[in-house]
Structure 1
Amino acid sequence: MAGFTRMIVRLARNPEAGFPDGDPRYGYVIVAPLQADGHLDAAAWQAHKADCTVRRFSPDPDDTADGWLTHQGGKWRVRYDEESEGPDDAFDHLGDHRLFVGDYVTITSRGQALVYQVSTEDDA
């Protein structure tokens, strides 16, 4: 998939949610097109929606899920393919954030907004 980037975002420090040091066992693997400035490329996503995938990972195998990156009304979400995987997760303001290693994004899952950090593939 030329022009696509595989990004790993891992749970960052979220002291108020019980993760004072973060937890790299929780996160998402996102495959999507990025612009040179690190922002998602909405036009390329539009042309290749089926190739833009997301995998949620967790130490609990029942909490892992596979889905697709979706964009509607200016908002980016993860659409899961099975009802048992839970409701869609929202990538808060993802269109405004860069996705370079070290950058942060907020993801709302099951009503809880948590901060994640883009990490390297080497520690995946």
Structure 2
Amino acid sequence: MTAHSSADAATLKRIRLHLARSKEFPEGSARYGYEFVAPLDETGHIDLAAWRLVRQECTVRRFWGNERPEEGRLIHRAGGANGATWVFDYDQGAAEDDEAGYRFGDHAFAPGEYVSLRDEDGEMHTFKVVSVELN
């Protein structure tokens, strides 16, 4: 069995991202970020085959300063880099609220790593992976 063949090969993890350093936040900020659940393989990459089996469990919570937290799902969509895009979807009936991970399929999710997301307004933000724990 390969790491990308079943849910047994990957484990559901809870990944927490905090806003990385930027002009607005020179030290980054733990008040802005995401916590999401995804199946990761042994190298820390999102396992697409496993996601297909457990997609209902792949949730996301967006926390953004004083705004009310948003709850949604981690979705894999056709299009984008390498033919597909991972997105955080907060309203299944509307695409305009989706936030797309930049090359999420290529990144290992491990503490200290950095990933980028394009928000619903089209702005790109960089986040630091601060924790990866068993869900």
Query: What amino acid sits opposite 2:67 in the alignment?
Result: P
Partner of 1:70: 75
Q: Percent identity?
A: 37
Aligned-residue RMSD, C-alpha: 2.1
Q: What is the CA–CA distance in structure 1 between the aligned matches of 2:27 and 2:117, rounded to whole Å? A: 17
Unaligned runs of 5+ in 2: 1-7, 79-83
Deviations 1:18-63 (A, max 9, x none): 122211110000101001001000001011111000100122133x
Listed as ranges, the matches of 1:1-124 within 5 Å are 3-15=11-23, 18-62=24-68, 64-73=69-78, 74-81=84-91, 87-109=97-119, 110-120=121-131
Deviations 1:37-92 (A, max 9, x none): 01000001011111000100122133x20000000121000110388xx7111111
Query: What amino acid sits opposite 1:107 in the alignment?
Result: L
Unaligned runs of 5+ in 1: none
The structure having more radius of gyration, on CA atoms, is 2
- What is the TM-score with the length of structure 2 in the denominator? 0.79
Contact 1:54 1:67 in 2 (8 A): yes
Contact 1:107 1:113 in 2 (8 A): yes
Contact 1:12 1:117 in 2 (8 A): yes
Corresponding residue SS for 1:38: coil
Contact 2:13 2:132 in 1 (8 A): no
**Residues paired across the two proteins, number:** 117
Runs of 4+ in 1 over 3 A off after TM superposition: none
- What is the TM-score with the length of structure 1 in the denominator? 0.86
Contact 1:66 1:81 in 2 (8 A): no
